[in-house]
Every structure is written in C-alpha cells, then in structure tokens.
C-alpha cells in the first residue's frame, strides 16, 4: 500500500521541537589534533617506485568511480521506491 504524497512527506519530515535553539559553542580540539598541525612533514624519499605509486593511484581512481556509480544506483532505487 502506497502512502499519499502528504503521508510520504511526513515520513521524512524532521521532528519539530519546542526547545529554543542554543548557540553552539566551539568545541575544544583534542591535543592530538592540535599537535598534528605542528608535526613535521614526512621525509621525501628518493627510492620510491613511481610505477607502484601510479598503480595505487589508478586503483584509487577506479574505486572512486565504482563508489560514485553505486551511489547513483542507490539514489535512483531510493527515488523509485519513494514514488
């Protein structure tokens, strides 16, 4: 049984609260995060295999493309389910 448009919109509507909105105070950063900004950069090494880096980079690009495609399919399926 499909819900009407009004019913479907209510399913995804955020709950309303009577609580006043409080101003968010900035959070204190953990010491690890503060210290990491001052950490020295890693040393550059001359014996890096550029072919291996290119292969890893290629895998990253392929993985990102696959994730983007999967997200698009999931979004399409969700849209079809919601209508």
pLDDT number for residue 1: 45
Q: How confident is the model at residue 76 (pLDDT cuts 50, 70, 90)?
A: very high
Q: Would you say residue 57 has pLDDT above 50?
A: yes
pTM: 0.42
Enumerate residues 6+ apart whose C-beta is below 8 A from 72.
Answer: none
Alpha helices by DSSP H, listed for 1-83, are 5-11, 31-38, 50-82
pLDDT tens for 4-36 read 555 555 555 655 666 556 566 667 777 776 666
Is residue 2 within 8 Å of 10, Cβ to Cβ? no
């Amino acid at each position: 049984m499909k819900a009407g448009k009004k019913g479907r919109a209510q399913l995804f509507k955020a709950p309303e609260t009577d609580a006043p909105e409080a101003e968010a105070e900035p959070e204190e950063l953990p010491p690890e995060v503060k210290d990491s900004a001052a950490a020295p950069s890693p040393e550059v090494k001359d014996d890096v295999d550029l072919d291996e880096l290119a292969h890893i980079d290629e895998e990253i690009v392929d993985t990102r493309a696959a994730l983007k495609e999967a997200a698009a399919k999931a979004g399409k399926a969700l849209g079809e389910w919601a209508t």
